[in-house]
Amino acid sequence: MAGLFDEVKPHAARYEYFQAGYVDQPDDFAGFDLDGSMPIASNVAVTGRLTLPSADVNGVDVDSRRIELGTRYYFELQQMTETDADFGLSLANVDVSGGGVDDSDTALLLSGQLRRNLYQPIGSTRYAVNEAYGGAQVAVDDIGSPAVRAGLLVDLNPKVSANAELMIDDGTHLRLGIRMDLAKPNAPRRAALLQKKPEPYTPATGALTREPAEKESRVKAFFRKLFNPASEAETLDTEVPPASTAAASDSLITYDASGAAKITP
């Protein structure tokens, strides 16, 4: 078993997060849901979840509380790029109280799922479907029936995602949440929203690159040229000929009103 955790295996999905949201369960139970995961060793993370649904049953308020604590082991499948296998073991306790009922059950849960990174932008928006996942869960005790689940993660920005999950056992469970990525800023990441920025000017290549300029209307360009001809030199993206790059590093590059580049020793 020692060799299983000695070496960090590649993985594609995120396992360092905190999530808060809402659950809708069978028999009109609904309420808050908190979920989290934190790596503690190579490809191993501890997990925790707290669900607090309640319902009005025949005019009586019934409260439920479910606590899950466990661990998961994850790694990227060699046969399927950007796809992780994720296996979990957790202990769940469910308390139900109200209307003269006070019951508590505890069970061991075994789960397994596949997590696939998609990096699929949503139309022309800045959002992207980052991950899709699906799997199954079984309980060793009679705390619940075998269940299947599937879900999506949509990146709202590089650190925050929206999560939607559907689980089906004897009934239908819907979970909606907002997930915060807790990974350190310098940690390796694979996110659809992280784009490579243009290279700055370097004397070694003589290339001068800039962020794409906002398109200017013809009317606005006409009046700018009419009242401020010198501004043309500031808006041109220019490439210095390679032959002059040796001198460019120790010389001053200037532009005249027509936009032509000049090198002054």
pLDDT given at position 11: 76
User: How many CB atoms neighbour CB 35 within 10 A?
Assistant: 20
Angstrom CA distances, 49 to 36, 68, 142, 149, stand at 6, 5, 19, 16
Query: Per mean pLDDT, which range of 47-51, 84-88, 150-154, 209-213 is the poorest?
Result: 209-213
Which bin fits 140, alpha (ψ -120 to 50), beta or left (φ > 0)?
alpha
Q: What is the mean pLDDT of residues 160-166?
A: 97
Q: Is the pLDDT of residue 91 over 60?
A: yes
User: What are the φ/ψ torsions at residue 222 (nearest 5 degrees)?
Assistant: -60, -50
Q: Is the pLDDT of residue 109 over 60?
A: yes
Q: Is the pLDDT of residue 216 over 90?
A: no
* Residue 178 pLDDT level (bands cut at 50, 70, 90): very high
List residues bridging with 161 in a β-sheet: 155, 179
pLDDT given at position 252: 59
| pLDDT tens track for 46-65 | 999 999 999 988 888 999 99
User: What are the φ/ψ torsions at residue 183 (nearest 5 degrees)?
Assistant: -65, 145
Q: Is the pLDDT of residue 98 over 50?
A: yes
% of residues, the chain, pLDDT over 70: 65
pLDDT given at position 223: 64
pLDDT given at position 13: 85
pLDDT given at position 247: 43
| pTM score | 0.66
Q: Among residues 80, 108, 90, which one has the least CA distance to residue 48?
A: 90
User: How many CB atoms neighbour CB 213 within 10 A?
Assistant: 8
Highest mean pLDDT among 2-6, 119-123, 198-202, 225-229: 119-123
pLDDT given at position 183: 85
User: What are the φ/ψ torsions at residue 64 (nearest 5 degrees)?
Assistant: -130, 150
| pLDDT tens track for 13-33 | 889 999 999 999 998 999 999
% of residues, the chain, pLDDT over 90: 46
Q: Is the pLDDT of residue 234 over 80?
A: no
Q: Is the pLDDT of residue 246 over 80?
A: no
Residue where the block lists tokens 């920025």: 197
Q: Is the pLDDT of residue 6 over 70?
A: no
